[in-house]
Amino acid sequence: MSQNRLRLILLGFLAGASLLFFIIAFGGLTLLSAKSQRLVELKTQSKTVDAQSSSLAASKKQVEQYAYFNDIAKTVLPGDKDQAQATADIFRLADQSGIAIASVTFPASSLGTSTKTDSSSSDSTNATTAPAASAISQAKAVEGIAGLYALELTINPQSGSGVAESKLVTYPKLLDFLSRIEHNRRTAQITKVNIQPQITELGPSQFINFTLVINIFIKP
């Protein structure tokens, strides 16, 4: 074998070895990159699972907490739909504040019934009521609290010369009445108060008239 041929053979082996080295190196780097990317994905998935577990634990804790408040609400809020009882409460609270109620009006019912209570005195036994089923049809669901309904009532006091002076409304009496309503378990929210001073021949008097809109809360 001549020297030139041997040199060519050695050069061929060297070129093949170099090519094989580059192929193996490129394949190894590609595989290493894929493994590294997979490791990053697994770490991301692990963090996501940990975050979801923490969120689930927090949600479970909130569910338990709100379930407790739901049980409290059932004991604090009336579960009945008796409009007569709510009206009787209003007459009683007004009487305690020295106010005579003329009317307690409920909104029109989708069942075709409406309720209005008129009385010439503070005797709550004169209250009338629509059927219990109409109460829910007149009520509106309270946003954010499942199963809780608000029923709107409009209250007007007796006024005029035919009412005893001891039962006419003054500002202190009205403030006392509003406080009693807000602390009553059935009538807990005042939404609107419209006050009109009573005018006599000598000008405004110490007595006032008002229109009061409140919500009573029902949790069947």
- What is the rounded CA–CA span in Å between residue 33 and residue 89? 77
E strand segments, the chain? 101-105, 116-118, 140-141, 149-157, 189-200, 203-218
Question: What pLDDT was estimated at residue 216?
Answer: 82
Q: Are 10 and 17 in contact (CB under 8 A)?
A: no
Could you tell me the end-to-end alpha-carbon distance of the chain, in angstroms, rounded to an integer? 108
- CA dist 190 and 205 (Å) reads 26
Pairing mode of beta strands 140-141, 189-200: unpaired
Domain ranges of the chain: 1-76, 83-218
Which pLDDT belongs to residue 121?
41
Rg for the chain (alpha carbons), in Å? 40
Ramachandran quadrant class, 195 (left: phi over 0; alpha: psi -120 to 50; beta: rest): beta
Of 108, 125, 124, 106, nearest to 116 by C-alpha is 106
Q: What pTM value is reported for the model?
A: 0.53
Do 158 and 174 contact (CB within 8 A), yes or no?
Answer: no
Provide the sign of the torsion angle of the four alpha carbons 161, 163, 165, 168, taken in this order.
negative
Residue written as token pair 């006050």: 195
- Return per-residue pLDDT of the chain as tens, 220 residues: 667 777 677 777 777 777 777 788 777 778 877 877 888 788 787 777 777 777 777 766 666 655 544 554 454 455 555 667 778 888 999 999 999 999 988 887 655 444 444 444 434 333 333 434 445 667 788 887 787 888 888 999 998 878 898 999 999 999 999 999 888 876 668 889 999 988 877 777 888 999 999 888 777 6
According to CATH, the superfamily of the domain at 83-218 is Ribosomal protein S6/Translation elongation factor EF1B (3.30.70.60)
**Which one-letter DSSP state was computed for residue 170?**
-
